[in-house]
């Protein structure tokens, strides 16, 4: 396996070049096929993945744990209570120690600096399983899903509706890198970080992708091939729930909104969904939804990432 990613970390979508991103997607497609036909692919035989969880997650834990097992390795689940971080040990000391025990670290954390410090001090590849800034593994699974459903990436139009959060940030960068035109429709005060938007627009110029941020949903959804939404209230933001639900009420993905995009649009959600808030049951369970294919593809995309970063 020709591989320039060996030994590197994935903290942001921009840690990958355009070519490397497509390499991940191509390997994910192969690994998915091999799993479906029962063909072993033990690319990480004997390797150990340390999984740090400051935030719990169904999809992230199960997909990484199942993924490393299918690659021939093993995963160690490490909650905050299993580590000494809560008792005052520095991230640097934790990283230096774990790097002596495991071959790869995946971390799902609050502060993005945590994954940066883990990568700086551990001496092994670190994968960002989610931080407040980005969620690259989610977007790799999303791009794999879009490519499967639409047969291509370049030239498509994607509309993200809702909070300009970590998923939105990585999606902006991933779409710009692959030539997908992306519009973000958000309530006032909930735009994605300007620095991320600026970076995505610069990358988009190199790949013929137009990146726009607007406040009116109708301005973004009309020509969409893909509609994407996420929860209005992310973990740790519960104190803002009432205010957000009021401001986001016009940003629900429902049948009337989907009709604006046309009959071939696909609808995506990174899950978990708050049904009846950001998306209705009718859409979530309807013919346009690819939500659970999208969830499955986290497994295949993450296996490709682990294999490329940790093989050899």
Of 142, 270, 300, 302, catalytic: 270
Question: For residues 11 and 115, is the Cβ–Cβ distance under 8 A?
Answer: yes
Instruction: Tell me the longest C-alpha to C-alpha distance in the chain.
Output: 55
Q: How far apart are CA 158 and CA 141, in angstroms?
A: 15
Of 59, 61, 133, 135, catalytic: 135
Of 230, 288, 294, 300, catalytic: 230
141 to 46, 200, 215, 290: CA distances (angstroms): 25, 19, 27, 12
Write the burial class of residue 296 (CB in 10 Å: 0-12 exposed, 13-18 middle, 19+ buried). Answer: middle
Does the annotation count 22 as an active-site position? no
Does the annotation count 186 as an active-site position? no
Of 138, 252, 294, 302, catalytic: 138
Q: How far apart are CA 194 and CA 198, in angstroms?
A: 6
Does the annotation count 135 as an active-site position? yes
Q: How far apart are CA 140 and CA 308, in angstroms?
A: 14
Does the annotation count 230 as an active-site position? yes
Of 59, 108, 269, 288, catalytic: 108
Q: How far apart are CA 20 and CA 37, in angstroms?
A: 26
Of 61, 298, 300, 302, catalytic: 298
By annotation, the residues acting in catalysis are 108, 135, 138, 230, 270, 298
């Amino acid at each position: 396996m020709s591989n320039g990613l060996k030994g590197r970390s994935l903290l942001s979508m921009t840690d990958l070049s355009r070519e490397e991103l497509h390499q991940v997607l191509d390997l994910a497609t192969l690994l998915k096929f091999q799993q479906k036909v029962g063909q072993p692919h033990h690319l990480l035989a004997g390797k150990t993945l340390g999984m740090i969880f400051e935030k719990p997650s169904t999809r992230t834990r199960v997909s990484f744990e199942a993924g490393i097992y299918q690659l021939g390795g093993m995963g160690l689940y490490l909650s905050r209570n299993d580590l000494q971080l809560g008792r005052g040990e520095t991230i640097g000391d934790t990283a230096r120690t774990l790097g002596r025990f495991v071959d790869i670290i995946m971390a799902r954390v609050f502060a993005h600096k945590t994954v940066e410090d883990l990568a700086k001090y551990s001496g092994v590849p670190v994968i960002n399983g989610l931080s407040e800034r980005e969620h690259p593994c989610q977007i790799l699974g999303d791009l794999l899903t879009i490519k499967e459903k639409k047969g291509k990436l370049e030239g498509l139009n994607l509309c993200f509706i809702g909070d300009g959060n970590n998923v939105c940030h990585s999606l902006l960068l991933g779409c710009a890198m692959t030539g997908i035109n992306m519009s973000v429709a958000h309530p006032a005060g909930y735009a994605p970080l300007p620095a991320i938007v600026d970076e995505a627009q610069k990358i988009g110029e190199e790949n013929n992708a137009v990146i726009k941020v607007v406040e009116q949903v109708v301005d973004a959804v009309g020509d969409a091939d893909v509609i994407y939404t996420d929860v209005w209230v992310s973990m740790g933001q519960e104190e803002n729930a009432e205010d957000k639900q009021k401001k986001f009420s016009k940003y629900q993905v429902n049948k009337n909104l989907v009709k604006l995009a046309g009959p071939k649009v696909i609808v995506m959600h990174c899950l978990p969904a708050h049904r009846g808030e950001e998306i209705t049951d009718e859409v979530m369970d309807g013919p346009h939804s690819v939500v659970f294919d999208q969830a499955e593809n986290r497994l295949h995309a993450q296996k490709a990432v682990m294999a490329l970063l940790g093989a050899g």
